[in-house]
Structure 1
Amino acid sequence: MKDRVLKAEEKRDFISKLPDEILSIIISYLHVDEAVRCNVLSKRWEGMWKLAPHMEFDAKHMIKPLSQLLHKRKSHKLPCFHPDPSKNKQVSRYGLKILQLMSHHSGDISSCRFVHFRKSILFGGVEAWVEFLVENKVGFTNLILQCEPDHYGEIAEKCFSRDEICKPDFSPGLFSGLCSLELVNYTIDSWAAFEGCINLKNLKLERIYLDDISLSGILEACKGLENFSLVESTGFQTLIIVKSSIRVLQLQALLLDEVEINCPNLEVLQLDSVKCPLQHLIINAPSLRTFHSYCYSIFARLLPINEGRYVLKTHEIFAHCNSSLSESPNGNFLQNLSNMSMDLNLNRISEVMDLSLVLRLCTNLQTLEVALPDLTHKNSDNVSSDDCATPYPISMLLESCHCIHKMLKSVYIRGFRGKEHEMEFVKYIITRATMMKKITIESKNSKREAESLLSLPKASRNLCINLKINVNPMK
C-alpha cells in the first residue's frame, strides 16, 4: 500500500520534470534570499538561483537573512566600482553583500529590482549595484529602484539632509542601455544619467523631486519613449510633453502651473488628481483610444490646497476640451476614443450636460465607465448633488449622442445610489442603446432601485444586466 502511495506521489511531482530553464524562471519570482535557500531542497535545485533571469533584492525582507546567508561564504575579490577617488564613496557592508551575490550569479540577468534604505545611497551602494549590472551582465535592460525610509540610518540623517540622502549620483549615460526603468522616492537634480537613452521605452517616475530643467532634459533624452508615468512627483511647475513616440501617458497626483500634451500617436491617457489652472491645459492627441479622468480619488485628498490651482474636474476637462476643439488645427481628438472611464456626478445636470457634449464628439465610443463620487466625504465638493432647477431632462441631453445609440457596447456604473438622475441615465442606456452587450451596476445599498432596472425593455436583445449589491463605493 505504501509503495502505491509513493508511486502516486512521484507521478504528481511535475516540477522536478521541468527543464532547468523553466525552473530558473520560476525561482526568479522569489526574493533573492529565498531563492538561494532553495539550495537545500535537492541537488537539482542547488545553484539554480544563479541562472534566474530576474533578481529581486528587498532590504525590508532580506537584510537579516542575507547577512546570515553569506556569513560563512568565502569572500570573493570584487572589482573597484568607483575608481575615481574624487567621488570619495565607500560601499557599505550590506552593499558589498549585494554585489557579492550578483557576482556569484553565472547567467544573464535581464531585469532587476532593488528596494533599499536611504543609507544605501549615502554609501554609494545603489550606484555600484547598477554599474555592476550594466558593465557585467549581457542583456540587462529592465531596472526598478525604490528607496524606502531608513529606520536604521539615524546617525546618517543627523549629518545629511533628506534630499542629500535620497539623491543618487548616477554616472552620465548609465541608463542608456535600458528598455524599462522605474524610479521611486528619489531626488534627481540632473538628467545626465539619461543621456543616450534611445532604447528606453518604459519610464515611471514616482515620488520623485526634480526641477523643470531636469524633467525636460529627461524627456528630451529618451528619444523612443512610448510609456511614461509621472506619479506623486514635485519640484517642477510646468509639464510640456511634445513627443511623437509616446503611446501611453499617466499623470497622477501632480501640482502644476501648466500642462501641455502634444503627442500625435498617444493612444492611452490617464489624468488622476492633477492640479492645474484649466485655461493652462492643452491636450492634442488625435490618435487617442482610451481616456481615464479621475478627480475624487484618494490622491486628490493628499494634494495641498493652493490658490489658483485646483484638481481638474472631469466635467470641466470635457467642457474645456469641447470649447477648444473648434480652435484646434488638428480637429477632434475625441473622435477615435473607444474606451472612456471617469468619476462624474450623474446627479448634477451640469456635469451630465458636459458629458453629453463630449459623447456627441466620441463617435466611436464602445466602453464607458462612470464612478459616482462619495460627496459625503469631507474633502468632496460642498455642492448640492441635484440640479433640479435645470430645465433639461437627461434623455434630451443624450438624444443627439450617436455613440450611445449605435456604438456603445459596455457600461459600468460604480457607486450607484438609485437617485432620480442616476436612474434616468441608466434607463436611457438600457432602453435606447441598440448595440449594448453588458451593463454592470455596482451599488452599496440601493438594491430595490437597481433591481427595478431588470424589468425595463431592452433596446438590445443581447444586453446582460449585471447587478453588484452591497459593494462599497470608490473612496
Structure 2
Amino acid sequence: MRYNSEGYYLKAQHLQDLYETSDVGIYSKTVKSIPMEKTNDNERGSCLEDCISGLPDALLISILSLLTMKEAGRTSLLSKRWRYMWTYITALNFDALHIIYGLKLGDKRLDVERPLYLSWVNQVLKSYNGPSLDEFRVQFDLDETCRFDINNWVNFAMEKRVKRLDLDVSNIEHHTRKEEDYIYHITNHPRGFTSCNSLTNLQLKYVNVTGQVLEYFLTNCPFLEQLTVHKSDGLVNLKVSELSLKLTHLAITDCYNVESIEISAMNLVSFKYYGPKISLPFKNVPPPVEMFVGGEYCDNLICNFLEFSSYLSLESLTLHLAYYDENSIEDVKFPVFNKLKQLELIISAGDNESLTVLVPLIEACPFLNKFVLQLQWFKTAVRRKLESVEICPLQYLKVVEFVGWVGRPIDIELATYLMKSAVMLEKITFDPRKPYLIGTPWEFMETKGKRAARKRAEKLRKKLPPGAAFVIL
C-alpha cells in the first residue's frame, strides 16, 4: 500500500475551504439550533426521497461521529442540509500515523507534513461547534515547535468536557526520548486539566509525566476508568489509591525510570506493565482479574512465580518475555493457577530454541480455556529436528491461537502437543502475520514466508481431533 502526502493535503485544504466559506460567528450550544437549511419537497423528489437527510440532527451527528474525520468532512458537500453537520461530531480523531508509516528515518518530508497536520487540527477546532466531546485524539510525530498548539488543543478538549483524551506524540524513530527532548510535559501542576470531571479515559504516549501528576488525575477525575502511560521518563513512583473508585484499567509501559507502583484500587480489573524490575505491591487488595507483564519484570516473574502467590488468583495472564532463554526456564517449578482461564505468551525466539519448556506452565493451569502464542521468530545458523513431548491431557482447553506462525520445529512442536493434549479442543488458528506488523499498513502484505507457513500448517490438519475447527489465515 502506497502512502504520500497528497490525500492528507487535500484533507487540510478541504477544511480550509470549509472554514473560509462558513459563518464561524454562529455558535450553538445545542444540537437543535444548528444553522442548516432543510431540503424542500422538490429537492427531496430529485434525490429520490433522501431518507437519511430526513433523520433528526442528533441521530445524524451520532452517525457522522462513527466516520473518520476525512469522511465526515466530505459530507458537507452533499447539500445545504449537511453543510455544517460535521462541525458537531462528538469524536475528533486526528490520527495520522499512516503518514508516518510512509516515511523513512530522516525523511525531510516530515518537515512538510507537520505544518499540514497542525493546520488540519487548528482549522477543525476553529470550525467546531459542538458543545461537548466524547473523544479527542492526537497521533502524529510532533516536535518542540508544536508545544503551543498542543497546549491549545488540550485546553480546547477540556473546555468541551472531553471523556476520552488520547495524546500520542511519538516520534518516527520510536525510541525513548531524553527528558530534555520531550516536546510535551505535564510534570508540575497539570495546566489545562483543572476541570477534568468528565474524563473517563486518559492516554498519554511520549508525554513526560510524573507520578505526582498522575495521582492528581486519579484523585480529581472521579469518573476516570482507564489510564495509560507509555514512554515517560518522568515517572518514577506511583500510588494508585483506594480513592480511584472508578478505575478499572491501568497500563504503564516502557517507562524505564519507574521504581515502584503501589496499587490499592478496589475495582481494578486489568493491569498492564512492561518495564524494569520494580516493587509492585497490591496493598490491601487482590490483584486484578487480567494482567499483562513484560520486560525485565516478566523475566524475573516467570523464574520466581512461587514468590508471587497473589498472582495465583488471576483469570487472564499475558507474559511478554524481553529475553527468552529456554535454559533458564527449563528447571522452573510453576505453581498451580486454579483460576486461570486464558494464557498468552509473547516471545521472541529463533530456530535453535524450544518452546516446549513452557509446557509445564500450561499444565499448571488445569482450567485453562484459551491459549495464545505470539511468536517473533528469527533465523539462526543452527537448525534442529522436531522433538516429541510427553502428552498430559488438558481437560478444559478449547481455543488455541498461533500469531506469527512460521511452521518450524519451534512452533510445530508446541502445536502438535496442544492438538494431542486438548481433549476438548474446539478451534485452532494459525496466523502467519508478524506480531509487530499488526496494525500497520504491512499487516496483510503477502509474502513468500507467509505462503510457506500456511503450507506447513496444512500438514498438521491430520492431527486435529474430531469436531475441532482448523483455521489458517
Q: Report the TM-score, using the length of structure 2 for normalisation.
A: 0.64
| CA–CA distance in structure 2, aligned partners of residues 66 and 421 of structure 1 | 47
Deviation at 1:427, TM superposition (A): 3.9
Q: Is the 8 A contact 1:276 1:312 kept in 2?
A: no
SS of residue matched to 1:294? strand
CA deviations over 1:12-59 (Å, ceiling 9, x no partner) = 955434432232123335666875564443111122134322223469
After superposition, where does 1:39-50 map in structure 2 within 5 Å? 39-50=76-87
Please report how far the alpha carbon of residue 170 of structure 1 lies from its aligned counterpart in structure 2 after TM superposition: 2.0
Once the two structures are TM-superposed, the CA of residue 236 in structure 1 deviates from its matched residue by 1.7
Mapped to 1, the partners of 2:350 and 2:367 lie a distance apart of: 22
The equivalent residue for 1:368 is: 371
| Percent of aligned positions that are identical | 20
Q: Which amino acid aligns with 1:204?
A: T
Is 2:131 aligned against 1:110?
A: no
1:267 aligns to what? 289
Q: Give deviations 1:42-88, integer Å, cap 9, x for gaps.
A: 11112213432222346987955986x9xxxxxxxxxxxxxxxxxxx
* Residue number among 270, 276, 285 corresponding to 1:255 in the alignment: 276
Alignment partner for residue 292 of structure 1, among 302, 318, 328? 318
Amino acid at match of 1:114: V
- Looking at structure 2, the residues matched to 417 and 202 of structure 1 have their Cα atoms a distance apart, in angstroms, of 35
- Equivalent residue number for residue 166 of structure 1: 184
* Within-5 A mapping of 1:222-241: 222-241=244-263
Instruction: Measure, in 2, the Cα distance between the counterparts of 1:56 and 1:453.
Output: 44
Aligned to 2:400: 411
Q: Distance in 1 between matches of 2:375 and 2:181?
A: 39
The alpha-carbon deviation at position 277 of structure 1 amounts to 6.2
Equivalent position SS for 2:204: strand
How far the C-alpha of 1:200 sits from its partner, in A, is 0.8
* CA-CA distance at 1:362 after TM superposition: 1.1
SS at match of 2:162: coil
Partner of 1:157: none
> What does residue range 75-474 of structure 1 map to in structure 2 within 5 Å?
100-102=126-128, 105-115=129-139, 117-119=142-144, 122-123=147-148, 125-135=149-159, 137=160, 140-147=162-169, 161-163=180-182, 165-168=183-186, 170-171=190-191, 173-189=194-210, 190-191=212-213, 193-194=216-217, 195-213=219-237, 216-217=238-239, 222-252=244-274, 254-260=275-281, 264=286, 266-274=288-296, 278=300, 283=308, 284-295=310-321, 300=322, 311=323, 322-323=333-334, 325=335, 332=336, 334-343=337-346, 351-353=355-357, 355-376=358-379, 394-395=389-390, 398-399=391-392, 402=393, 404=394, 406-414=395-403, 423=412, 425-442=414-431, 444=450, 445=452, 450-456=457-463, 459=465, 461-467=466-472
Q: Which residue is equivalent to 1:74? A: none
Letter in 1 for 2:256: T
Contact 1:33 1:62 survives alignment (8 Å): no
Partner Cα separation in structure 1 for residue 353 and residue 263 of structure 2: 34
Q: CA deviation at 1:235?
A: 2.6
Deviations 1:145-204 (A, max 9, x none): 233569xxxxxxxxx9424x4214623754444111111211124416414233210111
Residue 209 of structure 1 deviates from its aligned partner by 2.4
Aligned CA distance change for structure 1 residues 21 and 441 (closer, same or farther; 3 Å): same
- Which AA in structure 2 matches 1:430? M
SS in 2 for 1:209: coil
Ranges in structure 2 where 5+ consecutive residues have no aligned partner: 1-42, 100-112, 173-178, 433-449
SS at match of 1:204: strand
Q: Is the 8 A contact 1:28 1:56 kept in 2?
A: no
Residue type matched to 2:467 in 1? N
Question: Aligned partner of 2:461: which letter?
Answer: L
Give the count of matched residue pairs. 379
Question: Is the Cα–Cα contact under 8 Å of residues 61 and 85 in structure 2 kept in the other structure?
Answer: yes
Mapped partners of 1:259, 1:383: distance in 2 = 39
User: 2: CA distance between counterparts of 1:181 and 1:425?
Assistant: 39
User: Equivalent residue of 2:318, what SS?
Assistant: strand
**Aligned residue for 1:90?**
none
Q: Bigger radius of gyration, 1 or 2?
A: 1
- Cα deviation, 1:379-408, whole Å, max 9, x if unaligned, reads xxx9886797xxxx512xx32xx5x1x211
Question: 1:23 matched to which residue of 2?
Answer: 60
For 2:318, give the aligned amino acid: H
Deviates more, 1:362-371 or 1:435-444: 435-444
Q: Which amino acid aligns with 2:206?
A: N
Relative to structure 1, the CA distance from residue 317 to residue 286 in structure 2 (aligned partners, 3 Å threshold; closer, same or farther) is same
- SS at 2:363 equivalent: helix
- Which amino acid in 1 is paired with 2:235? D
Q: Is the Cα contact below 8 Å between 2:93 and 2:137 reproduced in 1?
A: yes
Q: CA contact under 8 A between 1:148 and 1:185: conserved in structure 2?
A: yes
Q: What is the RMSD computed on CA atoms of the aligned residues?
A: 4.4
- What letter is aligned with 1:408? L
- Counterpart code for 2:379: T
TM-score (norm 1): 0.64
The alpha-carbon distance between structure 1 residues 24 and 177, as it changes in their structure 2 partners (threshold 3 A), is closer
Name the CA distance, whole Å, in 2 between partners of 1:423 and 1:36.
Answer: 49
Distance change >3 Å, CA 349–CA 9, structure 1 → 2? farther
In structure 2, what is the Cα distance between the partners aligned to 1:131 and 1:230? 24
CA distance in 2, matches of 1:126, 1:372: 37
Deviation, structure 1 residue 268: 2.1
Shift in alpha-carbon separation, 1:431–1:232, aligned structure 2, 3 A: closer
- After TM superposition, give the deviation of residue 227 of structure 1 in Å: 0.8
CA pair 432-181 structure 1, distance change in 2 beyond 3 A: closer
The answer as to whether partners of 1:50 and 1:107 remain within 8 angstroms in 2 is no
Question: Does the Cα contact within 8 Å between 1:147 and 1:186 map onto a contact in 2?
Answer: yes
Displacement of 1:240: 4.1
**1:316 shift after superposition:** 6.2
Unaligned runs of 5+ in 1: 1-5, 70-93, 151-159, 301-310, 326-331, 469-475
Decide whether the 8 Å contact of 1:182 with 1:203 is kept in 2.
Answer: yes
Q: Is the 8 A contact 1:206 1:230 kept in 2?
A: yes
Alpha-carbon spacing, 1:319–1:207, altered in 2? closer, same or farther (3 Å): farther
Relative to structure 2, which stretch is displaced further, 170-179 or 363-372? 170-179
Amino acid at match of 1:43: K
